[in-house]
Structure 1
Amino acid sequence: MTISQLVEESGAQMRIFDLGRRITKISKKDFADFEQLGKAYPTPYLKHAWVAVLSWNPKKAGQHNIWFLKLPLDEQNILQPGPRDAFLQHWLRVVADPDKEHGEAPCSFKPDQNRMAYFHAVSLMTLGQPTTQYYATARAYLSGDLGWENWQQLGLQGLAEVVARISEDNNEKLLAQAIGQMPAVPRNVLLGYLENSQPGHELTVAINDCLSTVVAAGPQAADLAAFARALSNSVNEQQRQLLLQAILAHPVSKSVEVLAAIGSRCWHDLEGELLKAYLECLAVNEQGDNAFMALVADLMTLAGMRERILTVFRSPERSEALSSAIGKLMNLVSASTGSVQ
């Protein structure tokens, strides 16, 4: 039995979401194929598929279940079925004896506060439920009506709902007008939510202008990481890549926080010269060889990235620092596998 089959047999409907690199929908067919070991997971993160399964029974209004699951993958990003099966057995025991304490389910995880807020916002939309009371407060703040310094009263939930409903209530224009006015803390939270959306041209230009101002003032690593995340799914590919180049050219880009944000969210853009610039920064990152190896290893699990990275590794134009980091990585791989392809 699979998760898909269990939900179907219960008479419920479901939606599946990827919670690894960003929060996106997964089609039921793709998830069913993945569970049947017929398809690799397209966006693995740290060798796992991080998924949320939202299910509800149309005959039982107002009731729904959410499972947050961290499913282990093999070297080809195919599901390792054992842990998934252990989760199913746990759930069947819960259904059979709901009054008994069964402990924590295998493969379960708890998303951080920001991801939980955004997933809740998406769930409300999926279930056809209204926004929370925080939505109106967030919109009032973004309109400037509450004063830009009065952000402490904002709930994460309200900002998440505005971004989740970016195509409603003129929200994209509202965000474009607000982004350059906001203090760093709420702005960076908002930028983080935007990785799950697709900022249009007007909002992307506003993010670009705001980034220029922040860079001129001397950014912190958290600032550049937040901007990289916000731009990762924007509609203007060429502008997005130019902005990523600008971020990588800044001294703060040596921070692992910045490099991890780019590697985990902007992997689609990492090829050619932009990938080379990224790896050059990663080779001299502030945390050294371990961070280089971990971030490169994670990137290599994504479709097509291994070939791109190896092309840069073979480049005669790579720096001495990158050559040294590559040598240490290859030695580690050679020691663990006996060969390097």
Structure 2
Amino acid sequence: MTIGQLVEKSGAQIRIFDLGRRIEKVSKKDFADFEQLAKPYPVPYLKHAWVGVLSWNPKQAGQHNIWFLKLPLDEQNFLQPGPRDAFLEHWLRVVADPDKEHGEAPCSFKPDQNRMAYFHSIALMTLGQPTTQYYSTSRAYLSGDLGWDNWQQLGLQGLAEVVARLGQDNNEALLSGAIGKMPEVPRNVLLGYLENAQPGHDLTVAVNDCLSQVVAAGPGAGDLAAFARALSRSVNIQQRQLLLQAILAHPVSRSVEVLAALGSRCWQDLSGERLLAYLEVLADNEESDKGQGAQVFCALVADLMTLPGMREQILQAFRNPQRSDKLSAAIGELMSLVNAADHTVQ
């Protein structure tokens, strides 16, 4: 039995979301094929499939279940069925004896507050439920009515709901007008939520203009990481690729936080010269100053290689005759670790 079959057997509807690199829907067919070992997980992250499973029964209004599961993957990103089966057995015991304490379910995890807020926003929309009271407060703030410095009263939930409903209530225009006026803390939270959406042309331009202001004032690593995440799914591909190039050219891009954001969120634009530029900065990351740069390089490259199509592109970049000596040295460190691991397995 699979998770999908268990839910459908109960008469409930199901919706699957990936929560690894960003929050986005996974089709029922793709997830069913994944569970049946017919295809690998489409967006692996740290050797796992991080999923949010939302189920509800149309005949039982107001009743729904949410599971957050971290399912282990093998080297080809296929499901390792044992842990999933342990979760199903746990859930069947809960159903059979709901009054008994069964402990924490296998494979379960708790998303951080920001992800939880955005997932809740998506769940409300999926279930056809109204927004929370925080939605109107956040919209009032973003319109400038409350004063830009009065952001402490805002809840994460309200900002998440505004981004989740970009296509409603003129929210995209509202964000376009607000993003350049907001203080750093709420702005970066908002930018983080945008990684889950698809900003249109006007909002993309507004975010880029705001980035220009931030760069002129001297950005921190958290700023550049937030902007990179915000436009990683923008419909304006050319603009987001120019943003990526600008971030890589900035000295702060050596930060592990920035490099991790670029690798985990912007991989779709990491190809050709942009990929080589990313690898060059990654090989010279800030931890290199402490003698630990190779660990960061190996970890982020290994994660990138698990994504569909990225392994071949990375290996091609490794063979580029224009690569620097520093990148060549980092590649050598990576190959040494791979060879050592292969020798240990043998």
What TM-score does the superposition give when structure 1 sets the normalisation length? 0.99
Corresponding residue for residue 245 of structure 2: 245
In structure 1, distance between residues paired with 2:232 and 2:27: 22
Structure 1 residues 155-187: Cα deviation after superposition (integer angstroms, max 9, x where no partner): 000000000000000000000000000000000
SS in 2 for 1:67: strand
2:302 is aligned, of 285, 297, 303, to 297
2:342 is aligned, of 317, 334, 337, to 337
SS in 2 for 1:248: helix
Corresponding residue for residue 16 of structure 1: 16
2:155 is the counterpart of 1:155: yes
Offset of residue 150 of structure 1: 0.4
Offset of residue 289 of structure 1: 1.0
Structure 1 residues 45-99: Cα deviation after superposition (integer angstroms, max 9, x where no partner): 0000000000011111101000000000001100000000000000000111111
In structure 2, distance between residues paired with 1:92 and 1:68: 17
1:317 is aligned, of 300, 318, 322, to 322
Unaligned runs of 5+ in 1: none
For residues 1-341 of structure 1, the aligned pairs below 5 Å read: 1-287=1-287, 288-338=293-343
Q: What percentage of residue pairs aligned between the two structures are identical?
A: 81
Offset of residue 338 of structure 1: 4.3
Offset of residue 19 of structure 1: 0.5
Unaligned runs of 5+ in 2: 288-292
Offset of residue 336 of structure 1: 1.0
Q: What amino acid is aligned across from residue 331 of structure 1 in structure 2?
A: S
Runs of 4+, deviation exceeding 2 Å: none
In structure 1, distance between residues paired with 2:94 and 2:296: 41
In structure 2, distance between residues paired with 1:315 and 1:6: 49
In structure 1, distance between residues paired with 2:69 and 2:303: 19
Q: What amino acid is aligned across from residue 7 of structure 2 in structure 1?
A: V
In structure 1, distance between residues paired with 2:249 and 2:118: 31
Aligned length: 339
Q: What amino acid is aligned across from residue 329 of structure 1 in structure 2?
A: L
In structure 2, distance between residues paired with 1:92 and 1:286: 49
Q: What amino acid is aligned across from residue 207 of structure 1 in structure 2?
A: V
Corresponding residue for residue 290 of structure 2: none
What TM-score does the superposition give when structure 2 sets the normalisation length? 0.97
Q: What amino acid is aligned across from residue 323 of structure 2 in structure 1?
A: R
In structure 2, distance between residues paired with 1:178 and 1:226: 16
SS in 1 for 2:68: strand
RMSD of equivalent CA atoms = 0.8
Structure 1 residues 307-333: Cα deviation after superposition (integer angstroms, max 9, x where no partner): 110111111111111111100000110
SS in 2 for 1:225: helix
Offset of residue 146 of structure 1: 0.3
In structure 1, distance between residues paired with 2:286 and 2:93: 48
Q: What amino acid is aligned across from residue 198 of structure 1 in structure 2?
A: Q
In structure 2, distance between residues paired with 1:139 and 1:280: 41
